[in-house]
């Protein structure tokens, strides 16, 4: 046992190694915020864990000294849980080995800090692909399994956390546990979409599936949201639909300003408004040189216009957002605040909800590179107690993804927070990767519903000293 001084930086250097521990000053500004940039916080110390043993050492030290720990990967979440105010920020990004891809079992076993992009590259070379991917592949397995990980294939395969088969976890008490649907199931149910509240995921075995080398992609445009949704019901018929991904957007045709009753927070009596159109992007997997009858493929769909069709390699399709991300980086938008909010809306009310939201939401509040995305999805492909969904067969995952200047971030975040509240009033469930508006135990309890007692008990069992990201979930 090494001698500890109770000077956290020195002690953690003893425990891990000097090159794995940084003061807040050494770590720099990047470690003071997440993707939202809504809050800045200065950690006491940043530790870069490279192994399960490192994580155990940090968690045990935190329990002995009662210093809180926030797990952090690339901090692409927007809920302020991957930052720390005076505690230990536990960086998982150097735990990044892909241990095995088993082509027979269709699984991959990886360290939690592996980014999906790296797994995608290796898997595609073997004709395999993770069933669900998020738009941004530069996020980690541990990070998305801890929030859910939703994508354009969620209607078919659930969330990324649903594709986890087995996880190695260092609990908040410092114990190493392997969990799955058949082993330590209570922990498995808590850490998937568990926001890092019960343990640090150190390894994950996730599903893969076989895939064809290319996708044929259809760009359709709808004027009528109701019609798009009707068509999506058929597109989500898992037995008969050939499509592997479904993605929709709310696209503003900007009209200028119109007078409004009370005036915006920005202090004027007018608001920008738009006529909204609804692009729908569908992909079907194809072999090289496969001939596809597009008319047959799109038969029955009542879109306004079929704008474009193209064939993309799987890799290019999975990285389809990269050109936009590059543009955001070149234009400075990548560095701006991103008050993002995602909500899962019951199907039968989603058309009315989206239309009313668009009517009230000033499109310029999204910023030039912001967008409103929606993914029609099913609820029976997901089974995660920590990721509650409305109790309807179909749902819409709606993301309001604003990129805004620093001076406007509070106003826009407030506006988006109002949409969040409105969505919950009509029976939606928030996806908690984005900004969180809950302040009271009642609000958390209401979000999690029947699962709440298991959450409180699980916290007591697996993080009895409440060292993991304190202040995020209000337990009492």
Site of interaction with ligand FAD (CB under 6 A) = 35, 70-77, 81-82, 92, 112, 134-136, 139-140, 142-144, 146-151, 195-196, 200-201, 433, 469
**Minimum distance of ligand FAD from residue 104's CB (angstroms):** 27
Residue 21 or 195: the one with the smaller Cβ distance to ligand FAD is 195
- With CB atoms as reference, the residue minimizing the distance to ligand FAD is 143
Pairing of strands 199-207, 214-222: unpaired
Residue 150 or 301: the one with the smaller Cβ distance to ligand FAD is 150
Residue 149 or 252: the one with the smaller Cβ distance to ligand FAD is 149
Residue 243 or 431: the one with the smaller Cβ distance to ligand FAD is 431
**Minimum distance of ligand FAD from residue 142's CB (angstroms):** 3
> What is the 3 state secondary structure string of 307-355?
EEEEEEEHHHHHCCCHHHHHHHHHHCHHHCCCCCEEEEEEHHHHHHHHH
Whether 365 and 412 have beta carbons less than 8 Å apart is answered as yes
**Minimum distance of ligand FAD from residue 255's CB (angstroms):** 28
Q: Where are the beta strands (DSSP E) in 132-172?
A: 164-171
> What is the 3 state secondary structure string of 423-460?
HHHCCCEEECCCCCCCCCHHHHHHHHHHHHHHHHHHHH
The single residue listed with the structure tokens 């209570």 is 186
Residue 271 or 343: the one with the smaller Cβ distance to ligand FAD is 343
d(CA 120, CA 178): 24
d(CA 304, CA 302): 7
Q: What is the DSSP-derived secondary structure letter of residue 468?
A: B
Cβ neighbours around 377 below 10 Å, total: 26
Residue 11 or 342: the one with the smaller Cβ distance to ligand FAD is 342
Residue 140 or 205: the one with the smaller Cβ distance to ligand FAD is 140
Residue 151 or 362: the one with the smaller Cβ distance to ligand FAD is 151
Query: CA 381, 382, 386 angle in degrees (round to 5)?
Result: 175
Helix (H, G, I), strand (E, B) or coil at 200: strand
Query: CA 15, 76, 401 angle in degrees (round to 5)?
Result: 165
**Minimum distance of ligand FAD from residue 238's CB (angstroms):** 21
Q: What is the DSSP-derived secondary structure letter of residue 41?
A: -
**Minimum distance of ligand FAD from residue 431's CB (angstroms):** 7
Cβ neighbours around 6 below 10 Å, total: 10
**Minimum distance of ligand FAD from residue 199's CB (angstroms):** 7
**Minimum distance of ligand FAD from residue 324's CB (angstroms):** 9
Q: For residue 324, what is the enclosing H or E element?
A: helix 322-331
Q: What is the DSSP-derived secondary structure letter of residue 140?
A: B
**Minimum distance of ligand FAD from residue 372's CB (angstroms):** 13
């Amino acid at each position: 046992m090494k001698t500890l001084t109770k000077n956290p930086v020195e002690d953690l250097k003893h425990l891990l190694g000097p090159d794995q521990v940084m003061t807040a000053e050494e770590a720099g500004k990047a470690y003071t915020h997440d993707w939202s940039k809504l809050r800045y916080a200065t950690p006491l110390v940043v530790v870069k864990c490279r192994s399960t043993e490192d994580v155990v050492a940090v968690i045990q030290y935190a329990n002995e000294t009662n210093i809180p720990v926030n797990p952090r990967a690339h901090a692409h979440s927007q809920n302020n849980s991957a930052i720390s105010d005076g505690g230990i920020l536990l960086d998982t990004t150097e735990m990044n080995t892909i241990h095995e891809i088993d082509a027979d079992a269709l699984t991959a076993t990886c360290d939690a800090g592996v980014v999906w992009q790296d797994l995608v590259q290796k898997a595609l070379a073997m004709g395999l692909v993770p069933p669900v991917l998020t738009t941004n592949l530069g996020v980690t397995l541990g990070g998305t399994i801890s929030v859910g990980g939703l994508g354009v294939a969620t209607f078919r395969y659930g969330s990324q956390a649903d594709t986890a088969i087995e996880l190695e976890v260092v609990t908040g008490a410092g114990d190493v546990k392997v969990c799955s649907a058949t082993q330590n199931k209570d922990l498995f149910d808590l850490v998937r979409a568990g926001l890092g509240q019960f343990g640090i995921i150190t390894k994950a075995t996730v599903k893969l599936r076989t895939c064809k080398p290319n996708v044929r992609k259809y760009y359709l445009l709808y004027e009528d949201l109701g019609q798009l949704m009707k068509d999506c019901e058929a597109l989500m018929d898992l037995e008969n639909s050939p499509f592997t991904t479904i993605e929709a957007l709310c696209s503003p045709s900007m009209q200028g300003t119109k007078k409004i009753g009370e005036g915006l927070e920005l202090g004027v009596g007018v608001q920008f408004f738009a006529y909204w159109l609804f692009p729908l992007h569908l992909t079907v997997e194809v072999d090289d040189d496969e001939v596809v009858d597009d008319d047959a493929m799109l038969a029955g769909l009542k879109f306004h216009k079929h704008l474009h069709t193209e064939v993309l390699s799987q890799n290019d399709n999975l990285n389809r957002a990269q050109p936009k991300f590059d543009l955001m980086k070149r234009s400075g938008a990548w560095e701006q605040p991103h008050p993002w909010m995602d909500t899962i809306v019951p199907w039968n009310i989603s058309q009315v909800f989206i239309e009313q939201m668009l009517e009230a939401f000033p499109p310029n509040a999204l910023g030039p590179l912001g967008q409103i995305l929606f993914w029609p999805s099913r609820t029976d492909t997901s089974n995660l107690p920590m990721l509650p969904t409305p109790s309807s067969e179909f749902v819409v995952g709606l993301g309001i993804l604003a990129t805004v200047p620093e001076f406007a971030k509070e106003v826009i975040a407030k506006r988006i927070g109002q949409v969040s509240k409105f969505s919950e009033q009509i029976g939606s469930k928030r996806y908690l990767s984005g900004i969180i508006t809950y302040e009271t135990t009642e609000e958390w309890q209401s979000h999690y519903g029947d699962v709440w007692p298991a959450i409180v008990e699980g916290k007591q069992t697996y993080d009895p000293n409440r060292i993991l990201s304190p202040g995020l979930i209000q337990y009492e």
